[in-house]
């Protein structure tokens, strides 16, 4: 789904249902937000290509958090774009690089020892891509979960901090959430932010009129 001239919500289907990574680019950089499940590399690469960007031209991968359905194809992208930087919140990196056990069972992290060289993000950071990608630390689902506010299109990329129910934005799924109190605070922060719409990883896009 095309959100703006330089922003597309992708859709890749599989065992976890429809997943919605987001692609943002300009004339210098191309950023992929989240990277599907293991084994979905071909489908993700095809979705990126259909959006008009070559996977080999990806310069940055931002991970909203550590769960397997968000990090599963990082290596598939890096195989084509080996210079791409991988980013995550500073509190999430120890789970991703093997220093801490993952919050949930994650075969990629448990078996491979995690990803090395991940670059840290902090609340309030802005990546100068596509009009600015602003980092919001939205813990709860995991300790270092982040949302990304795309300033040019005024779109909030929510990862798993938000879901859609009956055409309304709700918080993280309690069954899979690390800290329910923090998650409740995070959804308030998300829904009170001035935006035109939101992308939820499992639910897709929701216009602001329903938020």
Predicted confidence at residue 211, as pLDDT, reads 56
Predicted confidence at residue 104, as pLDDT, reads 86
**Closest by CA position to 90, among listed 124, 113, 130, 58:** 124
- Could you read off the pLDDT of 172-207 as tens digits, one per residue? 999 999 999 999 999 999 999 999 999 999 999 999
The third-level CATH classification (topology) of the domain covering 2-210 is Metallo-beta-lactamase; Chain A (3.60.15)
Please measure the distance between the N-terminal and C-terminal CA atoms of the chain and give it in whole angstroms: 19
Answer left, alpha or beta for residue 76, where phi above 0 means left and psi between -120 and 50 means alpha.
Answer: alpha
Predicted confidence at residue 82, as pLDDT, reads 97
3-state SS, one letter per residue, for 109-130: HHHHCCCCCCEEECCCCEECCC
User: 158: number of CA atoms within 13 Å, CB side?
Assistant: 32
Where the chain has pLDDT below 50, the residues are: none
Predicted confidence at residue 109, as pLDDT, reads 82
Indicate if the alpha-carbon torsion angle 111, 119, 133, 131 is positive or negative. negative
What is the pTM (predicted TM-score) of this model? 0.96
Predicted confidence at residue 107, as pLDDT, reads 78
- Dist CA 73 CA 99 (whole Å): 21
- Dist CA 136 CA 189 (whole Å): 9
Predicted confidence at residue 208, as pLDDT, reads 82
> How many CB atoms within 10 Å of residue 2?
10
């Amino acid at each position: 789904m095309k959100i703006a001239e330089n922003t597309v919500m992708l859709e890749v289907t599989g065992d976890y249902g429809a997943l919605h990574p987001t692609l943002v680019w300009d004339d210098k950089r191309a950023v992929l937000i989240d990277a599907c499940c293991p084994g979905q590399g071909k489908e993700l690469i095809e979705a990126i290509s259909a959006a008009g960007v070559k996977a080999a031209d990806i310069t940055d991968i931002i991970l909203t958090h550590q769960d397997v359905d968000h990090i599963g194809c990082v290596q598939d992208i890096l195989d084509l774009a080996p210079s791409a930087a991988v980013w995550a919140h500073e509190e999430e990196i120890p789970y991703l690089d093997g220093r801490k056990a993952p919050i949930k069972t994650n075969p990629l992290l448990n078996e491979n020892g995690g990803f090395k060289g991940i670059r840290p993000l902090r609340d309030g950071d802005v990546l100068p891509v596509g009009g600015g990608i602003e980092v919001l630390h939205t813990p709860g689902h995991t300790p270092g979960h982040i949302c990304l506010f795309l300033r040019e299109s005024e779109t909030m990329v929510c990862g798993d901090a938000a879901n859609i129910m009956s055409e309304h934005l709700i918080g993280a799924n309690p069954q899979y959430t690390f800290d329910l109190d923090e998650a409740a605070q995070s959804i308030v922060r998300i829904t009170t932010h001035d935006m035109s719409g939101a992308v939820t990883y499992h639910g897709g896009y929701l216009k602001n009129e329903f938020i």
